[in-house]
A and B are shown apart, each in its own frame.
Chain A
Amino acid sequence: MEEDVSVTHGRHKGVYGKLKQITVLSGKGGTGKTIITASFAVLAHDVMIGDCDVDAPNLHMLLHPQIMKTQEFKGPKLAVIDRTKCTECGLCQNSCRFDAINGSLQIDPFSCEGCSVCVVVCPEEAISLQERISGYAFISKTKYGPMSHARLDPGEANSGKLVTLVRHNARQTAEEENHNLILIDGPPGISCPVIASVTGVDAGLVVTEPTLSGIHDLRRALELLNHFNVLPLVCVNKYDINRENTERIVKFCEKNKVEVAGKIPFDPIVTEAMVAGKTIVEHSPENMVSREIETTWKRVLSALVRE
């Protein structure tokens, strides 16, 4: 891996030729995406960081960003009925496909998608759409490089759109500050926020665990990367919890020509580092977990250079 050392520094312009982006994802939640991404941020020595898990973000708890710029995020609008004009004809309720208007013609803000069908069908022009702030996007400084992140208000919709804003901010900041690598922590699952996190990136590292659920979800995450034409890489976290399953994952990846970039052992020290608010590579740099994360990072970088 020696030949890759020169590229571990994100700022080395010209090494990648152009801006490179990598997203860490998982399908299944709780496999260790954030702990691994945070460690990569440390190992990259000054990299552009993006946290695309906007509804339950955790990366800030390890990287401690100092917010420099805050932006309001306008989510889907909300229908509002003017009671003084409403004749209770019920047309709005019948036309709403999201069951967001109940029998007493009250709008459920959790169900309303802001489509404005009710506005169009109301004969009395009693309904209007109101803008709602459903979260905030931030551009911050960390010890490890600038960070683009966000916070969706609890229960709000449209996290995909907020992820797109985080991606846009990351790209812009990277260009302004001369970074040519963006490291992205993705959300769990495979739907809109995940799609928004992986479209147009150069590689996706799927963090999995050697459990039956982990294997099932890994396959779906790899299908997603394939669907969007993103180079797949795999990292097996807590690989020694079930070595037989790890072997199955490795074989599956070999068969499908997907590189296994790392196998990280289980160690309770990872939780201790989290409790201390530190990345594992800073908390215990000599631990096997940290060393394996470092090896994984080098392999990820060489895959990016080849790409």
Chain B
Amino acid sequence: MILSIASGKGGTGKTTVAVNMALSLKDVQLLDCDVEEPNVHLLLPHETNEEKPVYVSTPQVNEELCDHCGKCSEFCEFNALFVTPEKVLFFPELCHSCGGCLLVCPKNAITEKNVQIGVVKKGAAEGMELVYGELNVGEPMSIPVIREVKKQIRSNKTVIIDSPPGASCPVIESVHGSDYCLLVSEPTPFGLHDLRIMVKILEALGIPFGVVINRAGIGDRKIYDFCEEKGVPILFEIPFQREIAELYSRGIPFVVDMPEWKRTFQLLMDDIKGCMES
């Protein structure tokens, strides 16, 4: 079972839900796919037992073989190569590592070299397996790191994936292939606006989903109306409580201090399984 957690809007409580849920269930593998700003590991005391660098392949031009015909630059859809009569200029931040320039070069003047853009770390925390990625600061593309994190999935476990905020490619990469997606939102106009976008994405991907409302009690009721109208199940509500916010600010998952919540998360998992069967 692969369960992903997403939101559209940032700061709605994805990581809070992911970590507290993981702490309430058995035999869990928890993956943090927010490789730009990973936070799951901050909330879980853990030991790192494996660190794997993440590389992307980038082209390297052998100027001795190159006759500056310009085919590589003509081919590159991302404008990462620019050929002058004297030299080939390469813009690594635009390269998608598709390998196409190697294929089209008639002189075999292009080879690939690996460049590290981030790291994937694995560890053990509270009886669960933790995997998270970190994109190097200044690197533009997070997708290859997310892919490496997801390669570690062990589908015989209950896999929980924490996704990045937003609604573009990194989110798709994170939720793609999951059996169910929990959308964490808050009852505010911003929360609803971004929830609508995520609903469209999950419908297009064909992933079943339900909503968790965090900070219930603030804002307005429009998110409830939207879910009712759309027939989207609201599976769970976390009330707005200063105690929860303060625990979070100190990096403490609230089920640690309020263990009565564990049962609620277990029931939530039962509900998700129920939703998937129906």
A286 to B232, CA, bound (A): 40
Other A-B contacts than A190-B37, A227-B138, 9 sampled, CB-CB below 8 A, are A30-B165, A56-B166, A98-B98, A155-B201, A189-B170, A213-B43, A213-B251, A224-B137, A227-B137
Residues of chain B contacted by A27 (CB below 8 angstroms): 36-37
The reply on B262 being an interface residue by CB < 8 A is no
Residues of chain A contacted by B137 (CB below 8 angstroms): 190, 220, 223-224, 227
Residues 219-235 (chain A) with a chain B CB within 8 angstroms: 220, 223-224, 227-228
The reply on A241 being an interface residue by CB < 8 A is yes
Count the A residues whose beta carbon is within 8 Å of the partner chain — how many?
66
> What are the nearest 9 A-B pairs in CB distance?
A29-B10, A30-B11, A115-B98, A212-B251, A29-B165, A189-B36, A192-B140, A242-B249, A211-B249
Q: Is the interface of A mostly helix, strand, loop or mixed?
A: loop
Whether A157 contacts B193 by the Cβ 8 Å rule is: no
Interface residue ranges, B against A (CB under 8 Å)? 8-12, 15, 34, 36-37, 39, 42-43, 75, 77-78, 93, 96-100, 103-104, 135, 137-142, 164-172, 176, 188-190, 193-194, 197-198, 200-201, 204-205, 218-220, 245-246, 248-251
Whether B39 contacts A216 by the Cβ 8 Å rule is: yes
Whether A191 contacts B204 by the Cβ 8 Å rule is: no
Once A and B bind, how many residue pairs between them come within 8 Å at the CB atom? 196
A263 to B92, CA, bound (A): 39
Q: Mark A151-168, 1 if CB is under 8 A from B, else 0.
A: 010111111100000000
A156 to B104, CA, bound (A): 28
Residues of chain B contacted by A26 (CB below 8 angstroms): 10
Residues of chain B contacted by A76 (CB below 8 angstroms): 77
Residues of chain B contacted by A95 (CB below 8 angstroms): 99, 103
Q: Given A28-B10, A30-B11, A187-B166, check contact A277 B249 (CB 8 Å).
A: no
Q: Which residue of A lies closest to B15 (CB)?
A: A213
Whether A154 contacts B200 by the Cβ 8 Å rule is: yes
Q: Given A28-B39, A154-B167, A274-B190, check contact A120 B219 (CB 8 Å).
A: no
The reply on A217 being an interface residue by CB < 8 A is yes
Whether B141 contacts A191 by the Cβ 8 Å rule is: yes
Q: Which residue of A lies closest to B38 (CB)?
A: A216
Whether A58 contacts B190 by the Cβ 8 Å rule is: yes
Residues of chain A contacted by B43 (CB below 8 angstroms): 212-213
Whether A212 contacts B36 by the Cβ 8 Å rule is: no
Residues of chain B contacted by A11 (CB below 8 angstroms): none
A58 to B96, CA, bound (A): 29
A108 to B176, CA, bound (A): 11
The reply on A46 being an interface residue by CB < 8 A is no
